[in-house]
């Protein structure tokens, strides 16, 4: 592929900054960062795009996860099995990533986002406070199933992963949006790391782009996590609805060839 110009690197850095902020608050920064990489590196292979995106995202996600952990102190009995199965699922997804066409995922993701967005919009009390729906081993099984399923999707493609983690932890397990965001970031660290371990040895990372985007993603992730913690669950819920709506419009345009 051609060496990216300084202008392209600057624009990709801005996209990574915005993606880091969005991803830290509600997840889904990949729906900003991945299209930016596709536009900025038109001659790169699918695996190069995915690997570069994952390395940049991993940097920002790690910082935002650490920020959440220090301030929220999520229960390790939930986030450790969630992370473990998310890692396994992501590694499996990354192993088959080059064989799965993007077109096969977009309609499914679009329908899922419409259902998720509508569910959150019409249930204003959802995610305001933590009210766990499962206890004991059922809670553990739900966390592990969430990690495995969403982790596989993240390794195979990725955009919207954080949002799917958040809404599953809120809607299925009963966490508040703030606590769900904290656990989602920890799980996302595991999924990104697993994908990198599979893709990086293939020589797929475009390092010049990855380093620039990683630094910007870190700044965005740090600011986003601090903002979410300071503003609370209500802010995260509203931000979630806005971001999911934007994702729906973007994906609908792609699926129906509107632009």
Q: What is the pLDDT of residues 84-109, one digit of tens each?
A: 999 999 999 988 876 766 566 568 76
Are residues 167 and 120 in contact, defined by beta-carbon separation less than 8 angstroms?
yes
* pLDDT at site 82: 97
Question: What whole-number distance in Å separates Cα of residue 92 and Cα of residue 197?
Answer: 11
Q: How far from 24 is each of 38, 117, 209, 227, 251, CA to CA, in Å? A: 22, 18, 21, 9, 21
User: Bigger pLDDT: 247 or 197?
Assistant: 197
Exposed / middle / buried, residue 117 (Cβ in 10 Å: 0-12, 13-18, 19+):
buried
pLDDT in tens, 156-172: 877 778 888 998 999 89
Give 2's pLDDT tier (boundaries 50, 70, 90).
Answer: low
* pLDDT at site 98: 67
DSSP string spanning 78-97?
A: HHHHHHHHHHHHHHHHHHTG
Question: What whole-number distance in Å separates Cα of residue 253 and Cα of residue 251?
Answer: 5
Exposed / middle / buried, residue 107 (Cβ in 10 Å: 0-12, 13-18, 19+):
middle
Of residues 49, 43, 27, the one with CA closest to residue 166: 27
* Chain Cα centroid distance, residue 29: 6
Element (H, E) at 217: helix 207-231
DSSP-derived secondary structure letter, 4: P
């Amino acid at each position: 592929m051609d060496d990216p110009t300084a202008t392209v690197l600057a624009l990709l850095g801005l996209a990574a900054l915005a993606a880091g902020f969005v991803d830290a608050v509600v997840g889904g920064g990949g729906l900003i960062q991945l299209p930016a990489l596709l536009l900025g590196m038109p001659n790169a292979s699918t695996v190069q795009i995915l690997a570069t995106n994952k390395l940049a995202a991993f940097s920002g996600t790690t910082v935002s996860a650490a920020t959440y952990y220090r301030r929220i102190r999520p229960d390790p009995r939930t986030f450790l099995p969630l992370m473990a199965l998310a890692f396994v699922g992501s590694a499996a997804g990354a192993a088959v990533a080059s064989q799965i066409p993007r077109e096969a995922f977009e309609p499914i993701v679009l329908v899922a986002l419409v259902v998720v967005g509508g569910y959150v919009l019409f249930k204003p009390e959802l995610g305001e406070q933590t009210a766990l729906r499962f206890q004991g081993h059922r809670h553990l099984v739900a966390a592990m199933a969430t990690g495995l399923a969403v982790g596989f999707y993240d390794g195979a493609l990725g955009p919207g992963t954080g949002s799917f983690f958040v809404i599953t932890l809120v809607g299925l397990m009963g966490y508040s949006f703030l606590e769900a965001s904290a656990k989602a970031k920890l799980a996302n660290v595991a999924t990104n790391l697993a994908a990198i371990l599979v893709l990086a040895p293939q020589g797929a990372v475009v390092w010049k782009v990855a380093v620039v985007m990683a630094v910007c993603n870190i700044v965005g992730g740090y600011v986003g996590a601090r903002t979410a913690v300071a503003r609370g669950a209500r802010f995260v819920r509203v931000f979630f609805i806005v971001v999911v709506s934007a994702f729906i419009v973007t994906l609908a345009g792609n699926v129906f060839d509107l632009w």
